[in-house]
Structures are given as structure tokens and as C-alpha cells.
Amino acid sequence: MVTEARPTHPLVRRLAALVALSRPSVWITSLLPFCLGYVLATHRFLPASCTPLTGDCFADIRPLATGILLMGPLAWLAILAINDASDLPGDLHNPRKVGKPVASGRMSANNATKLAYVAGAVALGVAITIGFPITVMTLLWLALGWAYSVPPLRLKTRPGWDVATNAVAVGGLALVAGWSVAQPIVDFPWIMVVEGLLVGTALYLPTTLADYDADVASGYTTSGVRLGRARAHYIGLGAMAASCVIAIVLSASDYVIPHRMLGIQIVAAPILIGAYHLLLSRAHGPKAVVKASVVITLMFTAVNVAFGVMYVGWV
């Protein structure tokens, strides 16, 4: 019989549990808007002193590198640890989540809760070294993560609020945080927050459908449960379509999105909208929904990479 190999050294097991708890696969949902915000602020992927490398590179890149550490593993560890501790009763009956560190028994809910607050404190400490604006963004993001998971608010089980919490955190706060490490927030092009909120809504709604059956069985009234599969899908589709329309208008106006990217936007819009509808409407079961969501996210990422390349002047 073949068994799954697991780390045997206690320290290795603990580190593996921490990494699993922070779920590296979701880091891209905050790191993409964070890095996009930085690119918007600087018209560069890296500080000028780093391309080519000079003696000032280390000091100049520190805010960006520290922000990536903050908006990736640190913040997600704080948010997901408290989420897993709070979701334990439901996760025990969810086939997609029984392998997580808390649900599988590799970490107690009490320890996960303590870890969440420690990680949150460390995240705030790291944010302070960058500046006041990103510290505020981090505090708000952690507060939303706490409100999403922890009673009595537990916004996860309040239809509409669950989607809004994630859309604001990922589509709004992470984007502005990336800008804030290089430029004053008052100069931020706020129409991009609208874009972020729409995309965040479009990408988060399908996740409420991935756990539809488990949430119903556990008594969780998420947006997916309240709306039903069809309505949730079409609201997400509408949000994706609206974001594409705004992107085309911005490019046509040569505001934020370069005019030379208009052709790409016009071609990409129906592809993104069509793929969103076809892949997600035909996805049945948690694994299929997650797989379709990943494909849509990667397609959207590709469009953003094209935007970044043009925005910094490489093309």
C-alpha cells in the first residue's frame, strides 16, 4: 500500500502546517493588485536604481519587497488562520476542506487563533516600517478578515457582505497599498478601485458556489446559497462584463490604460466574458468550480501582465 509521505521532524511539520495554513495558492489574489498598484504609481516594475543594479537598489526596493512579504504570506496567514479556526465545525463536513491543518487535527483551533493574532501583529509591525498609509491599509484588511470569520459579525454568513468584504480587501485595499509604497494616496486614480471591486466580485462569487452543498449542510447562508447558482453566476458575469467595459473606455480615453492597448482590450473582453460564462456555467461540483475559477484568474492575470508591459513602456 502506498501512503502519503509527510515531514517527520517536528519543526518541519510545524513549518509545513504554517505554509499550508497561509495557502500560497491564494497569495496571487492580493499580490497581483498590490504589484499593479506599484506599477501604476511608478510606471516601472522595479525601482530605477535596480535596472541596472546600483548601490541604491537595496534601499529603494525595500518598501516593495517588504510589501510583497506583507501582502502575501503574512496577511494571509493572519486572515486564514482565524478563518480556519472559526470554520472548523463546517469544515469537518466539507470534503474539500477536511485536509486543512485545523480540520485534519494537525493544529488545534485554539492554536490557530493565537497564531492569527500573532501573525496580524507581525504584519502591522512590518507595515509600520514601510509607512503610515500601508499600515492603515493593512489594519483595515486584517479587520475585514476578522469580521468575515469571527462571531458575532461573521460576515461570511451574511449574503452580500461576504462578497463585499473580499472585493474591498483584494480589489481595493491591496491595490491602493501597492500605490502607497511609492506615491501619495491622494494622487491615486480612484476609477481603478471601481475596476478592482468589480473584478473582486466576479472572481469571489464562484467560490461561494464551490462550497454550495457543504454550506447548505452546515447552515451557512452565503451569497451563493441565498442567490442560488444561476443568479450568483450571472451577477458575477455582469461584474466581469462591467469591468471589461470600463477598461475599454479608459483605454479609449487614454486615461490610466494606454490607448495603444485598446485593441487588446477589445479582443480580450469577449474572450474573458465568454470564458467566464462557459467555464463556470458548466462547472458542477467543488473541484470543477475551483478549476474553472483558476483558469479565469490566470486569463485575467495575462491581460494585466500585458497592461503592465505597455504601461511601463516596454512595448
What per-residue confidence (pLDDT) applies to 226?
A: 95
* pTM, 2 dp: 0.92
C-alpha cell at 35: 504589484
**Cα three-residue angle 262-309-65, rounded to 5 degrees:** 135
Q: Is the pLDDT of residue 200 over 60?
A: yes
Would you state the pLDDT for residue 52? 86
DSSP-based three-state secondary structure for 53 = strand
The residue among 284 and 299 whose pLDDT is bigger is 299
Q: Which three cell numbers stand for residue 201?
A: 466580485
**pLDDT higher than threshold 60 for residue 127:** yes
CA-based nearest residue to 252, from 242, 243, 262? 262
Topology classification of domain 21-186: Tetracycline Repressor; domain 2 (1.10.357)
For residues 11-22, average pLDDT: 85
Residue span(s) of the chain under CATH 1.20.120 come to: 189-315
SS3 letters for 189-241?
Answer: CCHHHHHHHHHHHHHHHHHHHHCHHHHHHHCCCCHHHHHHHHHHHHHHHHHHH
Give the architecture-level CATH label for domain 189-315. Answer: Up-down Bundle (1.20)
Q: Please confirm whether the linkage preceding 152 is cis (ω < 30° from 0).
A: yes
Mean pLDDT across the chain: 92
Please, is 151 exposed, middle or buried when counting C-beta atoms within 10 Å of its C-beta (0-12, 13-18, 19+)? Answer: exposed
CB 47 within 8 A of CB 39: no
Q: pLDDT category, 203, cuts 50, 70, 90? A: very high
Among 56-65, 212-221, 264-273, where is mean pLDDT lowest? 212-221
- The per-residue pLDDT for 8 is 65
Residues of the chain with CATH 1.10.357.140: 21-186
Could you give the percent of the chain with pLDDT greater than 90?
Answer: 80
User: Cα separations (Å) of 14 from 5, 24, 105, 299?
Assistant: 15, 16, 13, 34
- Cα(251)–Cα(263) distance, integer angstroms: 9
**For residues 98 and 221, what is the distance between their CA atoms, to the nearest angstrom?**
20
Least reliable range by pLDDT among 8-12, 99-103, 120-124: 8-12
**Can you give the pLDDT at residue 5?**
52
- Predicted local distance difference test score (pLDDT) of residue 174: 97
CA neighbor of 286 nearest in space, from 98, 54, 150, 126: 98
For residue 1, the model assigns a pLDDT of 43
List, for residues 212-252, the tens digit of each pLDDT value. Answer: 888 888 888 999 999 999 999 999 999 999 999 999 999 99
Residue 2 pLDDT? 46
Per DSSP, 74 falls in state: I
Position 7 scores a pLDDT of 52
